[in-house]
Structure 1
């Protein structure tokens, strides 16, 4: 089967297709971002990568690729309530939706769908929570119906599949050319409807964070220690004292034994609040609890904000707090060990690209479910 990856980024969808065992060939990966395309080529040198505005594609040009599958993860900013400090204040919380120019490429694809080849059988889309209440989603759904696609929508979090990272996202899978009733739910599902036996078998074979005891249903979930780069010099990732002093109270602190972390965004390493967790190297649960208790005590006991800030800064600096490395974040997002970066890429470049990417394992699960449903 031929695949076109629109908004291909650093290749997350490509890895998901491989992980799901779907026999296919990516005939075109399309993205406007120069850095993302360079990383994609670095990892998939045989795949044709097109650095183009998606709006420049006509239906005829797309049809020449004879696609069976289209995947896409369009820009999420028009649909999310979280905007960084780098946006002006009047934009905070504003969801521009389809009127935002960053939606133009998605709207163009929606407009072209009726004219695309009937060989196109499958579509998978990923976006942020919030897309499900957007005008763009409504238009997309109506177009899918008009083109005789059946579809199912999901809101899924990797945490629910034993991945120690929270990244709640909207997903849509669509198919046509099969008997009616493949997707019978019209509500948005919060889990993929595998049988217990199916999901256990998948976790046993493909989930990098679980260990299954023989044929039993007992699943041992790994902690963050699974992905830490042990033995590597982590000094470059230490959080500067000035950042701790100013924003330390906002940090989400995790430990090697933690089995959770917050969603990493493209602003990780530049802004403190809501951009991703930081790591404290303390490996003892008892000591970690004492450290967190000390932080809470400092924040609660002093009425002098300046004194509190100074005391907190000294204490937290001595904890050795650091950012997760790009490789560690890539592992939390289930990119394989073979995934790598061009040598000249900076840490901030890698954070930005990862923040715009997908959780590979969650999409792998969806592709397996889609394949199973259509083969029944």
Structure 2
């Protein structure tokens, strides 16, 4: 199956799609540093990205008709700054709002499905109308805004189309589902909440729902405070283990089995993710790429770091100060230090062999904006499976009609 990636960044979502079996016809990104990262890995023949058709260009300027092939899947994470909790919250008044461009690409390519990832802030109440506007544009991409029509009036026309009982006159519509997801529930060692907007073209008979979580908080709590398996796995003697509050132990012991979610694996923690890595130093460690120590980490209001034995807080796009000052690990003795780029990459589930190009600031920006590869692979694989099953049903129905 063939895919196109928009706003590729360092390539997390596109790598997830490739690992799920999609062949990218185009991977489009306009940021030089991100493209340099992908190109550097292509030069080193890193297998997942080595054959990508990387295009360093604005998605609004690329000639999509030049692809000349049918597209099964469009993926992308439009810039999140217009909707991020840490941003200026300008949404549709922000020049970086690329949702209109995303809709234009979908209208041009008519993919069988699309996957759009963005920040949780997109769902906040102050953006409620614009969020609905985004979803309706994705559902009806051929209902374009008229000249001099503002987005609110365009929204009203889309709402009328949505609620109208008249037969649909437009050929291109999508069945759209939006889901808020915590990456920790899918094996990512990070509490990263993101929204995934998934659409299937209305002529595709797809039976799809968001993949079930594979990991759970309750399983992690059980492995720490009931079975002790977590500490044994990391060779932490009982004398060095933290003491759980009696109230927590009591709650876990009384929790009904159906609520424990012990069928799922435990959330992965920072300690899990960093296992096998040496501590970063001020000199290059030839054993691990991008593993330099960054000095200056400190705790202050709003920047308390990530405890070693919990999933990390969301890795953010920055270095020192706001917002990057939160990208720290907190050790059991209370000491803190910044995550190295390699450690941050592990928290985003990038392979150790994938290297990042640019300064500390640029590489942390790439990582903070990336989609964790593990989560991307789960989502893309589920969509690919739904498309394959739909194709099989279509073939069977055609054969049945021909026999009849």
TM-score (norm 1): 0.68
CA deviation vs aligned residue, 1:298-318 (integer Å, no higher than 9, x gap) = xxxxxxxxxxxxxxxxxxxxx
Q: What's the counterpart of residue 34 of structure 2?
A: 36
**How many Å apart are 1:225 and its aligned residue?**
2.1
Q: 1:252 to 1:47 in 2, by over 3 A?
A: same
Q: What's the counterpart of residue 167 of structure 1?
A: 192
Q: What's the counterpart of residue 231 of structure 1?
A: 278
On the 8 A contact 1:29/1:49 being kept in 2, the answer is yes
Q: What's the counterpart of residue 27 of structure 1?
A: 25
Looking at structure 2, the residues matched to 157 and 143 of structure 1 have their Cα atoms a distance apart, in angstroms, of 25
Looking at structure 2, the residues matched to 254 and 26 of structure 1 have their Cα atoms a distance apart, in angstroms, of 35
- Would you say 1:251 and 2:249 are equivalent positions? no
Query: Which among 104, 129, 133 is matched to residue 120 of structure 2?
Result: 129
Q: What's the counterpart of residue 6 of structure 2?
A: 6
Looking at structure 2, the residues matched to 275 and 66 of structure 1 have their Cα atoms a distance apart, in angstroms, of 44
Paired residues, number:
294
CA deviation vs aligned residue, 1:10-33 (integer Å, no higher than 9, x gap) = 11122211333x2x2211111110
**How many Å apart are 1:162 and its aligned residue?**
4.0
- Would you say 1:278 and 2:328 are equivalent positions? yes
- Unaligned segments of structure 2, at least 5 residues: 42-48, 141-171, 216-228, 231-261, 283-291, 391-404
**How many Å apart are 1:234 and its aligned residue?**
3.0
Looking at structure 1, the residues matched to 207 and 4 of structure 2 have their Cα atoms a distance apart, in angstroms, of 23
Q: 1:181 to 1:279 in 2, by over 3 A?
A: closer
Q: 1:349 to 1:372 in 2, by over 3 A?
A: same
- Residue aligned with 2:82, SS: helix
Query: Which among 102, 107, 114 is matched to residue 109 of structure 1?
Result: 102
Q: What's the counterpart of residue 352 of structure 1?
A: 365
Q: 1:273 to 1:371 in 2, by over 3 A?
A: closer
**Correspondences of 1:270-309 after superposition (within 5 Å):** 270-271=320-321, 276-282=326-332, 288=333, 291=334
**How many Å apart are 1:157 and its aligned residue?**
0.9
Higher mean alpha-carbon deviation, 219-228 vs 66-75, is at: 219-228
Q: 1:222 to 1:73 in 2, by over 3 A?
A: closer
On the 8 A contact 1:280/1:322 being kept in 2, the answer is yes
Q: 1:232 to 1:65 in 2, by over 3 A?
A: farther
Q: 1:96 to 1:223 in 2, by over 3 A?
A: closer
- Residue aligned with 1:3, SS: strand
Query: Which among 322, 344, 353 is matched to residue 337 of structure 2?
Result: 322
Looking at structure 1, the residues matched to 378 and 277 of structure 2 have their Cα atoms a distance apart, in angstroms, of 29
CA RMSD of aligned residues (A): 3.0
Looking at structure 2, the residues matched to 112 and 368 of structure 1 have their Cα atoms a distance apart, in angstroms, of 22
- Unaligned segments of structure 1, at least 5 residues: 84-93, 185-191, 201-209, 283-287, 292-318
Q: 1:153 to 1:231 in 2, by over 3 A?
A: same
**How many Å apart are 1:170 and its aligned residue?**
1.0
Looking at structure 1, the residues matched to 301 and 135 of structure 2 have their Cα atoms a distance apart, in angstroms, of 43
Q: 1:179 to 1:37 in 2, by over 3 A?
A: closer
- Would you say 1:64 and 2:116 are equivalent positions? no
**How many Å apart are 1:353 and its aligned residue?**
0.9
CA deviation vs aligned residue, 1:58-89 (integer Å, no higher than 9, x gap) = 4534x525322111111111112313xxxxxx
TM-score (norm 2): 0.64
